[in-house]
Chain A
Amino acid sequence: MGLNLDASPEELKIFLEEVEEHFQTLEEDLIRLEKEEEFNEDLMQEIFRASHTLKGSSATIGHHRMAKLTHAMENVLDKLRKKQLSVTSNLVDVLFECLDCLRVLRDEIINDEESDLDLQEILEKLGTVKEPGEIPAATTDQPAAPGISCIWAETDFSIELTWEEKDTLHNAIEQRLHPYLVRLTFEVEPEMLAVRAFVTVRAFEELGEVVKSNPTEEEIEKEHVTDTLVLLLLTKEDEARVKKLVGELSNIATCQIKLYSHDTTKSHPESGVQPQEEAGPETKIKPVGNGAKPGEAAKNGAAKKANRTVRVDVELLDSLMNLVGELVIDRTRLFQILGNLEINYEMDEVSQDLGRTSVHIARVTTQLQEQIMKARMLPVENLFNKFPRMVRDLSQKAGKEIDFVMTGQETELDRSIIEEIGDPLIHLLRNAVDHGIEPPDAREAGGKNRIGKLKLQASHEENHIVITINDDGRGIDAETVKKSGVKKGLITEEQAKRLTDKEAINLIFLSGLSTVANVTDVSGRGVGMDVVRNNIEKINGAIEINSVVGQGTEFKIKLPLTLAIIRALLVSIEKSVYAIPLSTVTETIRMQKDQIEFVNNREVIVVRGKVLPLLRLKRVFTGINFTDEEREKLFVVVVNLAGQQIGFVVDSLVGEQEIVIKSLGKYIGDVQGISGATILGDGNVALIVDVSNLIKKIAS
């Protein structure tokens, strides 16, 4: 059954966007709320506003269940901000549960179908938070007339008066005029702020005398304004009349009215005229009042954004990327044609002209490629945002105390990579909480802080994005991993002895090992690490572990900026060209055939004292054995993934080039050792070598 909402599709879109923002705010703020030891007024207000706005907007579009739930939430939040309730972990749990319910209700809008979510339970939970016999929450924040659209806020404020002004005031009070101190915040287009403040002061003057305002009328005219206006009004009207006026005024986000008294200045000298706030107008410009009439706020926001952004279907971006991919191929092609042409007609004007044009097209293509890649980028924030909550829930369940810190949320990644990287990250974080970080008592016994540290960082490094997950837990013991490896028959006793600690730790990426429960417990790492690694390598990423027993573990994930286009080393094998993703290549070596040695009947070479296993790609891909008497010189491409190095023996090196990754299509399906295909400059198709697949093959 449809929801029958009172909003156009366009309005709903904006509504949903806004709702998502508020959910995000709530999610982040609730976690902060639980962490902060002291009462944080601003934080409380922000949470309240988000919930309040949700209430208003859901009521406006006629989503009654959402309105009902947010109303109940707001009652609780109102008490919290008035310090009638204190923040407990239990209360935060209930609020989080509300948020989960709200998401379900939001999905109802998306699906245009009512869910079977029963609100009774959560409403009761919210209800029990309420102390019995209490006076119902103040209703001042519920506008009586549709025009009244502001929140009655509660921050301490005042205004400083000169002696003369105090005198005026004194006389006025004797004449039974009321001195009202009014603090307003505006939500208005920044450029209209001064005019709005000006009109507002004028409007108050219609009720009486504005003795003083901050900023003053002169300051307002000079546009020395913030979104806050404090004024002292002397009027014969009562407070209700003043409130009515505020309700009628436009662009008011929050409002506070109180009777002016001398105490106000004396008891709170530090909040005086709020000089700090004046000093930092930019912090005040940001709209304090998301709480203004939600529908309007949404429309305003949309109108403002509409000037600069348009919505684009993801599919369109994908197809743009494909088209650019073809241009990239043609760019390479063009230079090959040019090269051929120049051999024959070097000084010909036409070929020189073509050369110049080609260079230009190449440059434009590169720029176009960069821009479109940029358009596909999203900050990892969208992904990271859900983690604090997850870590919190997990650590509560596991009885751990964890300080979870995230940095670099603004780092941007291609949206398709963001989609792919979510699950591996969840897995790694979960492992860190469940197995990496010790229980508080164990930590204390080990001389560590009871509170474990878990860090998630994203950063941009050259042509890659690096995401690291860092914990200060028990670390991974190489010896234990080795033992399990031997026990499970994954490696021999002999092999185990030869492994370095780093190599041993990397064994946890093997599928046989990581699913073993007892290793999980002893080594501190959970199941499915092979899946994590596969997922990351599938998108041409790489994962690395560093771990020190007793000190902690770090996972470092290196990701390409985009999925569609990568740099590759082209090599030739039996007259066919293959592409090896450059991100996996550490070096290429040219060597004599007699440098090959045999270990365990396997070909290896020694590079700078290290033994490097070799894999003849010719044999892998064509089945042709390498009698190869004719070749004295060999080319070895050294690749590295997750700490494992092997050398691919190829016939020759062709060059380095940007390639556009194409799938082999479902008729061909998965082919071992090949991850896809690409089109070369000459129009031929080259296969892309699946490095991780081949490394695994040689390892097993």
Chain B
Amino acid sequence: MPKVLLVDDAAFMRMRCAKLLTENGYSVDEAENGQEAIEKYQSIKPDLVLMDITMPVMDGLTAVTEIKKIDPSAKIVMCSALGQQNTVMTAIKAGAKDFIVKPYQPDKILTTIKRFID
């Protein structure tokens, strides 16, 4: 079962997303912020990270940079809202693979993830 690490500070968003992913055959772990994401990345070694940008403690962009330092092959997809395109661009340059724009559309999430996990 492919493992996805879901990083978002909003519990509601994690819940929605986790439900979708579990239903579609992924095992899901969650983290509330960038710091927690780094810790979980090391312990879980997920196949993919879905990374929110704006979060307390440590933001998504910093987390991408840190995770890439630990594992250059890490596959990270940014979860962006409209208006965060500059941050997303920086994150892509820092090694993130793709991005999804909120509000999430289930099939978009699934197709995007599928490309990296297959």
Asked whether B82 lies within 8 Å of A192 as measured between CB atoms, the reply is yes
In the complex the two chains form, is A198's CB within 8 Å of B111's CB? Answer: no
Residues of the B chain whose Cβ atoms lie less than 8 Å from the Cβ of A299: 105
Candidates A189, A194, A248, A295; contact of B101 at CB < 8 Å? A189
Indicate if the CB atoms of A191 and B82 lie closer than 8 Å.
yes
Inter-chain contact A198/B108, CB cutoff 8 Å: no
CB proximity of A148 to chain B, nearest CB, Å: 9
Is A219 among interface residues, defined by CB-CB distance under 8 A?
Answer: no
Query: Are the CB atoms of A192 and B107 closer together than 8 Å?
Result: no
Are A248 and B111 also in contact (CB < 8 A) when A195-B89, A195-B99, A199-B92 are? yes
Tell me how far the C-beta of A555 lies from the nearest C-beta in chain B, rounded to whole angstroms: 48
Is A146 an interface residue, CB under 8 A from the partner? yes
Contacting pair A192 B85 (CB below 8 A): yes
Q: With A189-B101, A248-B114, A250-B98 given, is the CB distance from A195 to B92 under 8 Å?
A: yes
Q: CB-defined interface of B90-118 with A at 8 Å, one 1/0 digit per residue? A: 00100001111101010110111011000
Contact of A147 among B85, B97, B101, B114 (CB under 8 A): B114
Q: Are A191 and B83 in contact (CB under 8 A)?
A: yes
Q: Is B105 touching A195 in the complex (CB atoms < 8 A)?
A: no
B74 at the interface (CB under 8 A from A): no
Q: B residues within 8 A CB of A192?
A: 80, 82, 85, 88, 99, 101
Using CB atoms, name the residue of chain B closest to A300. Answer: B105
Q: Tell me the bound Cα distance from A178 to B82 in angstroms.
A: 37
The residue on B at minimum CB distance from A221 is: B89
Chain A residue nearest to B88 in the complex (CB):
A195
Q: Are A296 and B108 in contact (CB under 8 A)?
A: yes
Interface residues of A in 176-212 (CB under 8 A from B): 189, 191-192, 194-195, 198-199, 202-203
Check if A296 sits within 8 Å of B105, measured CB to CB.
Answer: yes
Most chain A CB atoms below 10 A, which of B80, B83, B110, B115: B115
Q: Which residue of B lies closest to A249 (CB)?
A: B115
Q: Is A194's CB under 8 angstroms from B85's CB?
A: yes
Interface residue? A240 (CB, 8 A) = no
Q: Does A303 contact B (CB under 8 A)?
A: yes
Interface residues of B in 25-69 (CB under 8 A from A): none
B residues near A191, Cβ cutoff 8 Å: 82-83, 85
Residue in A closest to B111 when the chains form the complex, CB atoms: A147
Contact A248 B89 (CB under 8 A): no
Nearest B residue (CB) for A189: B82
Q: Which of A244-264 contact B (CB under 8 A)?
A: 248-250
In the complex, the answer to whether B82 meets A202 with C-beta atoms within 8 Å is no
| B77 CB, nearest partner CB in chain A, Å | 10
Residues in B with CB closer than 8 Å to A221 are 89
Establish whether residues B99 and A248, one from each chain, have CB atoms under 8 Å apart when the complex forms. no
Q: B110 → chain A, closest Cβ, in Å?
A: 8
Report the bound CA distance from A309 to B58 in whole Å.
35
Whether A198 pairs with B101 at a CB distance below 8 angstroms is no
Determine the distance from Cα of A249 to Cα of B82 in the docked complex, in whole angstroms. Answer: 19
Cβ–Cβ < 8 Å partners of B112 in chain A = 250
Contact B107 A296 (CB under 8 A): yes
In the complex with contacts A191-B83, A192-B82, A194-B89, A199-B114 CB distance below 8 A = no
Residue of A nearest to B91 (CB): A195
Residues from chain A with a CB closer than 8 A to the CB of B108 are: 250, 296
Option from B83, B100, B107 in Cβ contact (under 8 Å) with A146: B107
Q: Decide: A202 and B92 in contact? CB cutoff 8 A.
A: yes
Please name all residues of chain A whose beta carbon is closer than 8 Å to the beta carbon of B115 when the two chains form the complex.
147, 203, 248-249
Q: Which residues of B contact A295 (CB under 8 A)?
A: 107
Measured in the bound complex, the distance between the Cα atoms of B106 and A296 in whole Å is 10
Complex interface: chain B residues within 8 A of A199 (CB): 92, 97-99
Question: 18 extra interchain contacts, Cβ-Cβ under 8 A, other than A147-B114, A198-B89, A203-B115?
Answer: A146-B107, A146-B111, A149-B111, A189-B82, A191-B82, A191-B83, A191-B85, A192-B99, A194-B85, A194-B89, A195-B85, A199-B92, A202-B92, A248-B111, A248-B114, A248-B115, A249-B115, A250-B108
Closest 8 CB pairs of A and B: A147-B111, A248-B115, A195-B88, A195-B85, A195-B89, A191-B85, A199-B98, A192-B85
Q: List 22 A-B contacts (CB under 8 A).
A: A147-B111, A147-B114, A147-B115, A189-B101, A191-B83, A192-B80, A192-B82, A194-B85, A194-B89, A195-B88, A195-B89, A195-B92, A198-B89, A199-B98, A202-B92, A202-B97, A203-B98, A221-B89, A248-B115, A250-B100, A250-B112, A295-B107
